[in-house]
Amino acid sequence: MNALLLDAGNTRLKWRLADATQLHSLAYDEGFESVLRSALPSSVDVAYLACVAPPRIRDIVQRVVLERAVRLSEARTMAQLDRLQIAYMQPAHLGVDRFLVLLECAALQRDVLIVSVGTALTVDFLRADGHHRGGRIAPSPTQMRAHLASLSAALPASGGAWSPDQPFATDTDHALASGCEGMAIALITASLEAARREAPETELWIHGGGAQTLLPMLPQACMLPSDVVLRGLARWAGLPCSDVTGYTPGR
C-alpha cells in the first residue's frame, strides 16, 4: 500500500511516503496551495494527517491531498494506545503532535523527558512503562523575542549570543538572547531535575525547529529525528514501523 504521512505544524507542513526516508517541508507562505499541489506525489492509496495548523491550512492540505489520495485519515489524541497512556484527563487537550511523539518514544521503553522547541516550548515526562506523567507549556525563545519586539523597536527579534558561563550581556541583543534562551534552559533543567527525583535515569530528548539553538546549552540532551511526529503517525495508523531495538536519539 502506498501511504503518505503528513505533519501540519504551526508554521510548516512536513511529509514523506511511509516506505521512504526523504522528508519534505514547506512553509505556509504566499502560494502555499499551488506549491503544495505540485510538490506532493501525484497518486497515493491512503494519506494520514497530523494537524495542529490553523483551520485555513487544514482545509488547503485536505483539499490538495484528496485530489490524489483515495482516502485521508486525520490522527486524534487518544487516552491510550499500545503501551502509551497519557496523563491528560481530557485527551483532546493534548496536541496531536505531542501525542504522536509520545507514542513513538513509548516504543523505546525509556524514562524520558521530551522537549519540543517550536512555536511553543513543550515538556513531557514519559515513564519506561508507557505512562505519561504530564507536561509543561511555555513560549519558545523565538516567540518571547517576537513578542518583545512587537512592544518596542529597541528590542530586536533576533541576534545576539550568550553562554551559561557568561550570562550577563553587555548589549541589548545579547541580553535578549541570554534572557529568553536562558529562561527556556532553566525550565528544561528544572523539569529534568523534577523528573529525575521520580526516575533517576531519565534521559533528555529534544526536537523541533528551535532545538539546535538550545542544544549547546544542554550537554546531556539528545536530538530526536526531524520526522519523529511522522514516525508516531505511522504507529497510530498501524503501518509497519522501523525496528526500535538499539535505536538511540543522537547529538
Residues designated catalytic: 97
Residue in 88, 130, 115, 116 with CA at minimum distance from that of residue 190: 115
Task: Tell how many helices (H) and how many strands (E) occur in the chain.
Answer: 7, 12
Q: Which ranges of 43-171 would DSSP assign to H, the alpha helix?
A: 55-66, 96-106, 141-151
Q: In whole angstroms, what is the distance from residue 20 CA to residue 191 CA?
A: 35
Q: How far is CA 38 from CA 26, 83, 147, in A?
A: 12, 38, 35
Q: Which residues are bridge partners to 115 per DSSP?
A: 123, 206
Query: Taking the CA atoms of the chain, what radius of gyration do you get in angstroms?
Result: 19
Residues belonging to the chain: 251
Q: Residue 23's closest CA among 245, 246, 240, 231?
A: 231
